[in-house]
Amino acid sequence: MDSKPSFAVVGAGMVGACCALYLQNEGFDVTLVDRGGPGEEASFGNLGGFGVASCPPAAMPGVLRKVPGMLLDAEAPLKLRWGHAVRALPWFLRFAANARRDRVEANAAARQSLLDKVHEAVDPLIAEAGAAHLMSRTGLMFTFESEASFRAASYAFDLRRRNGVQMDLLDGDEARQVQPALSPRVVRAYRVADFSHTVDPGGLVQALASLFERRGGRLERRTVRGFDLGPDGVRALRTDGGDMPVGNVVVAAGVWSRQFAAMLSTRVPLEAERGYHAMFRDTDVSMNGGIISVDRHLAVTPMAEGVRVGGVAEFAAPEAPPDPRIAAHVRRHGEALFPGLRGGRVTEWVGPRPSHPDSKPVIGRSPRFPNAYFAFGHDHLGLTMGGITGRLISELAAGRPASVDLAPFRPDRF
Ligand SMILES: Cc1cc2nc3c(=O)[nH]c(=O)nc-3n(C[C@H](O)[C@H](O)[C@H](O)COP(=O)(O)OP(=O)(O)OC[C@H]3O[C@@H](n4cnc5c(N)ncnc54)[C@H](O)[C@@H]3O)c2cc1C
């Protein structure tokens, strides 16, 4: 009889897939449960960056002065569906509290503690999955279109530097030597040479899920509705296909984790910060690495199928229909940054980043049920942090000390 402890991981996005693989590394018997296929939600449409240069959290000093104006400005990257405002208000109040400089410094340091271990955790999984061809190590550039925006960002870049990010400062012409198709409006740039992206984020998660199955893991296509709870913890998942008995459970369901955490008596302020992308297909624009436009708050990445432009933070229900005005905004800004993109065939997408107001994920054991683990809320960095999150969950599950201090990521910190 097989006596290995069993785990059910709920959610087969980047985070759940990596948790499942790391739990297998420990010798556990693992089932990955998703209502759809692997990597079809937020993990599908992201910008593919392994964002090791992104320690600054979303709540930064001075953000409070900017938020009201941004919400009223159709061109600003922050959007709030007014029907969602009452629900989102407590999130924004906590977000405001996190803009204090001491909290910003602490949140950035906590994010960096995960970012420092991104590649050592995820690269072996990608290699074993045979997915190295989906990776590109061609660097990243943060671009500025005025001296004023360059100066305004000085604190954020100082924060990066103090957290160990290596960057070279370029003028506009030097930036265009790296990226010839870039708009002449760019006057300065920081280049991060040691930076990778995937050319197919959804394909990467599918490759990881295939590896999980090849190693003997089970992928179950079911909708999880709740848990059967006993005195010792979770006994079974309640699913649309009936009850699924479990020894342990990992909640890794992206933005949908909030309801599951609440069922396990842990309240988390997790909101859908929806992002949009425009995928320019059949384009002649060739790029050398990714771009983050500091002025336009969007990223541009060369993908296998074309050039992907994405960004925006829209607070709305995860399943709300996309707003065509926001999709047009993303497309227009992409074309302004890379004029050669104009006129091509474009497909659009919207998806929910799972975001906490302190820009940190929840990684840890349920405070109430010892056989339940939480791994969610990775906002703009879930692709990046999936691997290290999986490794940390597996360390806890195996009863070893975690290799990163997990205090900043505690589920009960809110
Ligand atoms: C425009 C945009 C750009 C981004 N760019 C980057 C980037 O460059 N780098 C980066 O690191 N991150 C980026 N992100 C963020 C990243 O995409 C997310 O943080 C990450 O995908 C979250 O992964 P996840 O596995 O937690 O959630 P998801 O990928 O959303 O997966 C959650 C899974 O749970 C499943 N699920 C939910 N409810 C149930 C249920 N009841 N039963 C069964 N299954 C269920 C879903 O079907 C889904 O498969 C970006 C996001 C957006 C929107």
Within-domain flag for 140: yes
How many angstroms separate the CA atoms of 309 and 186, rounded? 17
- Atom in ligand 1 nearest the alpha carbon of residue 379: 19
Number of domains observed in the structure of the chain: 1
Note the pLDDT of residue 83.
84
How many angstroms separate the CA atoms of 253 and 377, rounded? 9
Q: Which mutation among 307, 381, 385 tests ligand 1's pocket best, with the greatest number of atoms within 8 A of CB?
A: 381
Select from 170, 107, 103 the least CA-distant residue to 139: 170
The CA-atom distances, in angstroms, between 48 and each of 45, 56, 136, 308 are: 8, 18, 10, 9
Separation of CA 187 and ligand 1 centre (Å): 34
Q: Characterize the bridge pairing of strands 248-251 and 6-10.
A: parallel
- Atom in ligand 1 nearest the alpha carbon of residue 381: 11
Separation of CA 159 and ligand 1 centre (Å): 27
Within-domain flag for 87: no
* Residue whose CA lies nearest to ligand 1 atom number 2: 46
- Tell me the pLDDT tens digit for each residue of 227-263: 999 988 999 999 999 999 999 999 999 999 999 999 9
Question: What are the backbone dihedrals phi and psi of residue 121, each rounded to the nearest 5 degrees, phi first?
Answer: -85, -45
Q: Which residues' Cβ are closer than 6 Å to ligand 1?
A: 10-16, 33-36, 40-43, 46-49, 51, 223-224, 252-254, 256, 275, 277, 310, 351, 353-354, 376, 378-384
Within-domain flag for 306: yes
Separation of CA 352 and ligand 1 centre (Å): 7
Q: Mean pLDDT throughout 267-287?
A: 96
Within-domain flag for 365: yes
Q: In what order do the strands lie in the sheet with 233-239?
A: 224-230, 233-239, 242-245
Separation of CA 257 and ligand 1 centre (Å): 11
Within-domain flag for 70: no
- Tell me the pLDDT tens digit for each residue of 117-162: 999 999 999 999 999 999 999 999 999 999 999 999 999 999 999 9
* Residue whose CA lies nearest to ligand 1 atom number 27: 254
Which long-range contacts does 174-180 make (Cβ < 8 Å, 24+ apart)?
A: 175/141, 175/143, 178/139, 178/141, 178/288, 178/289, 179/141, 179/287, 179/288, 179/289, 179/291
Within-domain flag for 239: yes
User: Predicted confidence band at 2 (pLDDT cuts at 50, 70, 90)?
Assistant: low
The answer for residues whose C-beta is within 8 angstroms of residue 122's C-beta and 6 or more apart is: 18, 50, 386, 387, 388
Select from 341, 290, 357, 354 the least CA-distant residue to 143: 290
- Atom in ligand 1 nearest the alpha carbon of residue 197: 8
Separation of CA 3 and ligand 1 centre (Å): 32
How many angstroms separate the CA atoms of 134 and 199, rounded? 5
The CATH number of residue 160's host domain is 3.50.50.60
Separation of CA 126 and ligand 1 centre (Å): 18
- Atom in ligand 1 nearest the alpha carbon of residue 277: 1
Collapsing DSSP states into helix, strand and coil, what is residue 259?
helix
| pTM of the predicted protein model | 0.98
- Tell me the pLDDT tens digit for each residue of 339-373: 999 988 999 999 999 999 999 999 999 999 999 99
Task: Dump the DSSP string for 206-247.
Answer: HHHHHHHHHTT-EEEE--EEEEEEETTEEEEEEETTEEEE-S
- What's 42-100 look like in SS3? HHHHCCCECCCCCCCCCCCCCHHHHHHHHHHCCCCCEEECHHHHHHHHHHHHHHHHCCC
Within-domain flag for 85: no
Beta carbons of 379 and 355 less than 8 angstroms apart: yes
Query: Which residues form the domain of 180?
Result: 6-63+103-409
Q: Which mutation among 15, 18, 22, 46 tests ligand 1's pocket best, with the greatest number of atoms within 8 A of CB?
A: 46
Q: Which mutation among 22, 35, 134, 347 tests ligand 1's pocket best, with the greatest number of atoms within 8 A of CB?
A: 35
- Tell me the pLDDT tens digit for each residue of 172-186: 999 999 999 999 999
Within-domain flag for 335: yes
